Each structure stands twice: as C-alpha cells, then as structure tokens.
Structure 1
Amino acid sequence: MTRLTSGEWIDHFLTTDPPRHKSLVMTLCGDAIAPHGGAFWLGSMIELLAPLGVSDRLVRTSVFRLVQEGWLVASREGRRSRYALEPKALPRLARANRRIYSPPGLDWDGRWRFVLAPNGSIDGDLRALLRKELEWEGFAMLATGVMAHPAPDGDTLREILARSGAEGKVFVCDAAELPGVGSRPLPELAGDAWDLSGVVAGYRGFIDSFTPLLDTQADLTPQDAFAIRTLLIHAYRRVQLHDPMLPLELLPDPWPGTAAYELAKQVYRLSYARAEEHVMRLLGKEDAHTPPADDSFYGRFGGLA
C-alpha cells in the first residue's frame, strides 16, 4: 500500500474490510465507554459511530440487540434513551479486556487442565452451552465430554461454570506428563488439539493492515484518532477471539501474535490521547458529568502515560 493520510487509511479500511455493526458497538463499549463510567446516551453513540459508516438506524438496532443479549440495560429520560453496561456482563468484559490489552505468552508450569463431563452427567443443552463458553476461552474438545487447556485462568473457569449452571456437575482436574511410560511428549497435544493456521493468518493480516499507521500520526485529528483506535481494537479483538491463548512454549516460533500485540500497543499509544479528546467532547455533549477515563484505562498495553 502506498503511503496514505490517516483519513485515506480509514476510508480504505472501511471500504475493504467493513466491520459488523453490532460487534463495532460492542468494541466501542469496551474500549471507550467502560472507562468513562460505563454508560452512554444513544445520541452520543450515534455521533461516535457516524464517521465509521454506521447509520443511526444500525446503531439503534445493534444497541437493542445488545440489550436483548444481556450486555446492556436501558432507561429513558423523556425522549432520550440511556444505556449502561449490565453489571452481570462486567466480568465477561473484564476478561475480554485482559486478553486485548495484556501481552501474550502465559507463564506455564507444564500442566494441563481438563474439564470432564461423562455421558449422562449433564444434559445436551448444558453440554452445548458449556462447550461454547469454554471454546471461547480457548479450550479444545479432545473427545465427547473432554475439554482441555494448558493454562486457563482459574477465576474465569469458576465464573463460567457458575454462570452456565455447570457448577458441581462436571469434573475439573490438572494433569502432567508421566515420565518413563513411553508416551508422546504432552506438549505435542497442542498440535493435535488446535489448528492455528487461521489465527496465524489473522495476525499477519492485522499486521499488514495496521503497520502503515505508524507513519500517519502527524496529521491525526481527534476524530481520525478515535476512528483509528476503534478500528484497531475491533480488528485485534476479532483475531483474538479465535486465539486459544496458549503458552508461548506451545506455539510456533516466531509467533505472529507477539508482533501483532506490539503493533497494537504502538498504534494505540500514538492515537489514544487525541481519541480521548473526541470521546470526551461527544459524551460530554449529552452528559456534562461524564467522568474522565479511569486508572485502568491508563494501564492498558503496559501503561499509556
């Protein structure tokens, strides 16, 4: 790609890889709304997303669906609609933020965690729900009723079991390689359990798309900075959703996820301050008491200050 201005890059990205509208609203809720108190007026969301090609009708539809799915709660003041992050959804949002803004490469002690649901222990609906939730956290299904991950977060697993209704109904255990019995090395299980080719391609595509932005910062307006920051996190999150977040010891070397994280960190640090000007101006138009970004915001990507 030839060198583009920030505005040209935004137009090119939106034309060649237009984001899904509901997913973009969710990205904005996590990246820009949550640090400012977790609530917004519908008019502010419409103004924020208009430069990204999202009409007011699509914003309304997307927000309505997020309410139905339990991510947002709605209230009204006269003819205006206000939305806030659903308290029960906050742990899931916090998990997503940890994935996005923390460096890849989990510390690993060589042990694997298994979730076991033998035949008859849970019904089919719960089994399907539990599989979906665990796969979102990177677990692989090794066989019917057997899911595994080498380094899952214990608190997250506990929350998933409680929220899905599987607490006390499945077995959870750790396992390590047993030496001297002639088995295959346990790390080889990663190659059998996960096909990472799509994740690798996703990270490489992300790197190709966003590297040109390292040369476009001089001409950034607050609106362009906001658009770039939002599209950056949206695209990075989209790849991460398919990344099982395995320890680096189990990943191909070099792992493109490491380079993608470093690039995301650079672009975010270059754009966040001017983007905040835009966010505060538009949120403040509808709510003069909009708080500035909280401390957790400035801890993203290892620290923004």
Structure 2
Amino acid sequence: MKPQSMLFTIYGEYVRHYGSEIWIGSLTKLMGEFGLSEPAVRAAISRMLRQGWLESRKVGNRSFYSVSDRGKKRLEEAAARIYKVETDVWDGKWCIASYNIPEERRALRDQLRKELGWMGFGMLTTSTWISPNNLSDRVKDLTEAHEITEYVEIFTSEHMGWSNPKQLVQKCWDIDEINEKYKAFIDAYREEYEQLSAKLSNGEEVPDSHCFVEKTKLVHQYRKFLFIDPDLPQELLPELWLGKEADQLFQNYYQLLNPGAIRFFETVYEAAPSA
C-alpha cells in the first residue's frame, strides 16, 4: 500500500468525521497498523502538504495536520460515490467536455485528462470526453481552478447517431475490464465476509484492531473503483454487471467491521486542544 494513498483513505474514512485534524503521533500509529514506517508516513505527509491536500499547524511542540478545503472537496466527492444511493432515471442527455490546450501547457492537459477520468468521463476522441451524468459544474470548477477556461468548452447534448447508447458506452469505457475487476474484488472478499459473519453470529470476540485494519483495507481497495467505474445509469449497464453485487458485498462487510474499527480509531485519535 502506498503511504499517500492510504493517508487519503484514513482521512476520508475517519479523520474528516472528527474535525478533519489529527496529531502526527496518532496518524503514524494508525498507519503503523499496515506496516508503514514513521519516515514513510512523514514523507507522504510532506508531499500532500506541497500538493495542497493537507495543512499543518503547531500546538506547543506537537504537529497537527488537517485536510485543506481542496482536500475536503475531493473526499466528499469520493464519499458520495463510494456510499452512493440509487440514481434517478437517466434523462438521455450527455455531458460533453472538449478542450484544445496548447502544447506548452501539456502538463495541465495531462492533469485535466486524469481529473476527467476520475470524475467518470470516458474518452470519445482525444480531446472530447463524455459522461451520462451531469458533471458540468464540476468541470467548470476544475477548469477555473487550473485557469484553463479559455481552452475548454462544456455541453449538455442528446446523441443523434449512429451508435446506440450502449454501443457508445463500449466505445468510451472498457466495460469488460471493469467487470473483471469487480469479479476479482468479490472473489477476494466474499470468503472473508462470510467467515467474520459466522464468528460474530457464534459470539466469538473479534479484536477492534483487526476490524480497523480490515475495514480500512476494504475501503482502500473499493475506492480504486472511483478511477475506473464511470457510475453509469442502469439504462446503460450491460446485462451482466457485477458492480451491484460488489457494492452489496462491500456494504455488508463494511457494516460488520465498522463498529470495532471506530472504537479502535477513537483509542488512538488525538485532536489538537481547542483554542
């Protein structure tokens, strides 16, 4: 597990619900549960500070780290997709983002592509990306933040031909590959879920530290689907779609692990003393 990626999971799953700030000692102890060393954690925190995801402050001789406004927004967007509810019936409209960014700003162009993919856009052509979800406001925020509004246009449109909607989806996303990854997730976690469920049903004691580690790993793995699953409406999904089964398994396993995981976190967590 990469330390920076795990820090996003720890902040998103726990710290943001406790004021979004935590003492570095608590953070290194939590990360240590996954075999991550203190130097590795501190190096990851430094990178996240430079990238604008975290903010720091000193209280006495102690360092506390909180999620920046930018980081909070990203974590909230991720949580909304991980713990999503059923969406409305699709209105048949497509959100389209088209850009023409000069070569001298290539780094920004590459960053824009990564961000569009994370949002759930699929690449129709090299500089034209589409989504069946209304993401126009998020694209506007993104282009304004990067100061590239003069190079980007956003549309909401109907598709008039020639592919039908499901064929269009196949052109823009590798649905088979996504299904394979969902299958791998199900295969990896179904047995673990069933074993824990049986233990709890039999009244066996499960250590809170175990629940914390397993729940955090579960969320960490499931969070990766944010980067590959475009969150398509039901009308555009194939007949064989394992995303629903994987989501149900995730929710069920999460609910079993969550109480113990929270108890363990609260024994380790230390916030900064109030002013």
- Work out whether 1:201 is the aligned partner of 2:190: no
Distance 1:42 1:33, change over 3 A: same
- Provide the residue aligned with 2:120 in structure 1: 138
The gaps in structure 1 that reach 5 residues or longer are: 1-18, 290-305
* Identity score, percent: 28
- Provide the residue aligned with 2:29 in structure 1: 47
Partner Cα separation in structure 1 for residue 225 and residue 138 of structure 2: 20
Partner Cα separation in structure 2 for residue 228 and residue 213 of structure 1: 10
Partner Cα separation in structure 2 for residue 273 and residue 200 of structure 1: 30
**RMSD of aligned Cα (Å):** 2.4
The two structures have a TM-score, normalised by structure 1, of: 0.80
Partner Cα separation in structure 1 for residue 108 and residue 31 of structure 2: 37
- Work out whether 1:25 is the aligned partner of 2:11: no
Distance 1:104 1:52, change over 3 A: farther
Aligned with residue 155 of structure 1, among 134, 137, 143: 137
Aligned with residue 254 of structure 1, among 205, 223, 240: 240
Distance 1:116 1:103, change over 3 A: same
Secondary structure at 1:254 match in 2? coil
Residues 1-80 of structure 1: matches in 2 within 5 Å? 19-80=1-62
Conserved? CA contact 2:94–2:157, under 8 Å: yes
- Work out whether 1:283 is the aligned partner of 2:269: yes
- Work out whether 1:238 is the aligned partner of 2:224: yes
- Work out whether 1:228 is the aligned partner of 2:214: yes
Q: Offset of 1:123 from its aligned partner?
A: 4.9
The gaps in structure 2 that reach 5 residues or longer are: none
Q: Offset of 1:30 from its aligned partner?
A: 0.5
C-alpha offsets along residues 50-77 of structure 1, whole Å, 9 cap, x if unaligned?
Answer: 2211121221111111111111111223
- Work out whether 1:90 is the aligned partner of 2:61: no
Conserved? CA contact 1:126–1:165, under 8 Å: no
Conserved? CA contact 2:211–2:260, under 8 Å: yes
Partner Cα separation in structure 2 for residue 194 and residue 41 of structure 1: 41
Partner Cα separation in structure 2 for residue 287 and residue 70 of structure 1: 20
- Provide the residue aligned with 1:292 in structure 2: none
The two structures have a TM-score, normalised by structure 2, of: 0.88
Q: Offset of 1:232 from its aligned partner?
A: 0.7
Partner Cα separation in structure 1 for residue 138 and residue 88 of structure 2: 15
Conserved? CA contact 2:21–2:65, under 8 Å: yes
Q: Offset of 1:37 from its aligned partner?
A: 0.7
Aligned with residue 110 of structure 2, among 121, 128, 131: 128
Distance 1:64 1:255, change over 3 A: same
- Provide the residue aligned with 1:303 in structure 2: none
